[in-house]
Amino acid sequence: MSGGMPRKITLCADDYGMSPGVNRGIRELIARQRLNATSVMVVGSAITREDVSALQGAVALNRDCAIGLHVTLTAPFHPLTMHYRPLLDGLFLPLGKMLRAGALRRLDAEMIEGEVSAQIAKFITLFGQAPAYVDGHQHVQTFPQVRDPFLRAVKRGAPDAWVRQSGRVHPLSKRLDAPKALLLDTLSATFRKRAAKLGVAFNPGFAGAYDFTRAPDFGALMARFLDGLPDGGLVMCHPGYVDEVLIDLDPFTDQREREYAYLASDAFVQLLDETKVTLS
């Protein structure tokens, strides 16, 4: 674990709006200054006016916390736009099929752009302002045939927002042990080029991808995520409480509670101090 110069990072909890338990866990950590960003799913099942108001109340206790939009284009969620295609049983395509469709150039850029624009517009309606940043559920913003219409929609609908790129900054020799993260590195290289060409800002470094099916020690993972992350870099996390809504929607369940427990602990504060990392 390296120290070095002080660094400010963005620690972003994804999936606000997915379920009441996820929402509650994220709000608690924001109020305790253990997070400084959360990404909101406006197509989620738990994004009522009360959920929005409660999030705004938590952020009022943590002025360093930004609220962004978590653009969602994969199952088991429904699009906002009436004529969006392709669908499977009335839902967005599952992750693998969405990535494959983009790689085979079977997606419609106009429909993607329209759906992203609709999600930006709904965020503005809910929160009374544009998102501070825009990212994508399951990193869909980096996919072929998605990244260009995604960036155009952000540029038009939230021109002051930055976007999340999901690529790491470490040398290739240190990135070969994580296939999922390596795929994100590859997809994000093109995403960064397209964003730069449009003049859309993005985070300089990224960490947070891991194999949650193995139930790893999140404290050890966080130490690894912070090691070498540049100033201004972003760590993605998914804390929250498990409830029936979450179980019905997402396989990422118990690990959310383990993430929550670590981020709420004194050990996390100690790690930030040891690594000279700040969230404010």
pLDDT digits (tens, 9 = 90+) for 91-131: 999 999 999 999 999 999 999 999 999 999 999 999 999 99
**Burial tier of 239 (Cβ tally within 10 Å: 0-12, 13-18, 19+):** buried
pLDDT digits (tens, 9 = 90+) for 190-231: 999 999 999 999 999 999 998 887 878 999 999 999 999 999
- For residues 175-191, give the mean pLDDT: 78
How many CA atoms within 13 Å lie on the side-chain side of 198? 23
Please report, as a single letter, which amino acid is at residue 124.
Answer: I
pTM: 0.94
- For residues 169-179, give the mean pLDDT: 55
Distances in Å between the Cα of 113 and the Cα atoms of 106, 117, 256 are 15, 6, 31
Measured distance CA(24)–CA(17) in Å, rounded: 10
Q: Is the pLDDT of residue 171 over 90?
A: no
For helices 109-127 and 147-157, the axis angle rounded to 10 degrees is: 40
Percentage of residues in the chain with pLDDT exceeding 90?
88
Could you write out the DSSP letters of every residue in 49-82?
A: HHHHHHHHHHHHT-TT-EEEEEE--STT---SST
